[in-house]
Amino acid sequence: MKNYSVKQYQKSDYTNWNAFIGQAKNATFLFHRDFMEYHKDRFGDFSLMIFENEKLVAVLPANKVGEIVYSHQGLTYGGLVSNEQSKLTTIINAFRSVLLFLEDNKIEKLHLKTIPSIYHTKPAEEIQYALFLAEAKLVRRDSLSVIDLSQKYDFSKIRKRGIKKGMTKGLVIKEETNFESFWDEVLIPNLEARHNAKPVHSIAEMNLLKSRFPNNIRQFNVYHNDQIVAGTTVFESEAVAHCQYISKYENVENLGSLDFLYHFLITDVFVDKRFFDFGISNETQGKLLNDGLSYWKESFGASTIVHDFYEVETANYVRLNSFLIKSKKHTD
C-alpha cells in the first residue's frame, strides 16, 4: 500500500526542490527557487512537496493569502509539477493528499492555475483529470497566441509591409544585457500613457533575475538613428520562447519596428524552438479580449491555446477516494 504525505517547503529543501524541478516533465526555470524568491517580500510562500513512500513525486509552487492557497501568484503559470515517471494514479493520489493536507490546516479553497501544454517536455495533463474528479470550478480562461514553429506558418501582408519598412528605415536590433533603456524610455512611458500602469517587474528585479538566469531571460531592443524605438523581453525555456514584455515608442512616424523585430526573433533567433508564445491578449480574468492585440499576434501566424485557472474546495478530497475500476493488469 502506497502512502502519500505532504510537507510545506522550507529553506533546507532548496537543493531537493531545484533538483526535482530540473528533471520534471512540466517545469521551467520559473519554478526554480532563485526565481520564485526574488519577490518573497510580496508573497507569503506556501509551496508544498508531495511524497510517495518518502519519494518526492510532485511539488506545488504556491502562496497563501488569508485562508486561501493559490498557485503562486507571482508566476505566470503554475500547478502540480511532476516527474517523468509519474503515472496518472500517482498524480491523482498526490493531488488528493494536497487537498487533505490543506483541509487539515483549515484551508477551505485552493486556486490552481495550470501549466500550458506547450511548456511540457512530454504530455502532462494528469492534473486536469484530477481537477475534474475533484469537481473543481473553472474560474478563468486566458487565450495565448502561439506559433508552432515545427509547422508551416506565414506572415500576413500587413506584417510583411512592416518588416520591409523596418529594413528601409535602417532599423538595428541589438540584444542587450541590461534593461534600463527599454524600461525607462519605452516600456514605463507607454504603460503609464496607455493604461496608467507600471511593469510587474522593476529594473532592479529584472537585472537580478538576469544575473541568476542569464540564458533564459533575454532583452532585444530596436534602434533608429541610435535612438531606442522598441523592444521585447523574452523568457526562454527548453521548448518555448515567451514574450514577457512588448512595447514600442516611435513618436509620430510608424517605423515598422515591432514587425521588424519579431520577424528577426521568429525566423532567426528562436527558429529552433518548438513554440513562440506571444502571451495573452485578455483582461478581466479572461472575460475580455483585446481584438487589436490578438489580431496583431495572429497576423504573424499564431493561433490559440488556452490557459485555465480553477478553484477547488479542499473538502472535495473525498471525491478522489474511489476513482479506480479494479481490473486485471495487462502484462503483454
Q: Where are the domains of the chain?
A: 4-143+308-320, 151-273
Write the pLDDT tens digit of every residue in 223-255.
999 999 999 999 999 999 999 999 998 665 689
CA atoms of 153 and 147, how far apart (whole Å): 8
Are 259 and 163 in contact, with CB atoms under 8 Å apart? yes
Per-residue cell: 66: 488569508
pLDDT of res. 250: 65
Residues 6+ apart with CB under 8 A from 106: 67
Write the pLDDT tens digit of every residue in 42-101.
999 999 999 999 999 999 999 999 999 999 999 999 999 999 889 999 999 999 999 999
Per-residue cell: 67: 485562508
How many C-beta neighbours within 10 Å does residue 248 have? 20
pTM of the model: 0.93
157: pLDDT confidence band, cut at 50, 70 and 90?
Answer: very high
Q: How many residues does the chain have?
A: 332
CATH architecture for segment(s) 4-143+308-320: 3-Layer(aba) Sandwich (3.40)
5 has a pLDDT exceeding 80: yes
1 has a pLDDT exceeding 70: no
104: pLDDT confidence band, cut at 50, 70 and 90?
Answer: very high
124 has a pLDDT exceeding 50: yes
CA atoms of 10 and 17, how far apart (whole Å): 10
Q: What is the mean pLDDT of residues 276-293?
A: 95
pLDDT of res. 195: 80
Q: What is the CATH number of domain 151-273?
A: 3.40.630.30
Give percent above pLDDT 70 in the chain: 96
Detail the DSSP E strand segments found in the chain.
Answer: 4-8, 48-52, 55-60, 62-65, 68-71, 81-82, 109-113, 137-148, 172-176, 217-224, 227-236, 240-248, 275-280, 282-283, 288-289, 303-313
Residue 330: strand, helix, or coil? coil
pLDDT of res. 328: 63
pLDDT of res. 58: 98
151-273 matches 4-143+308-320 in CATH topology: yes
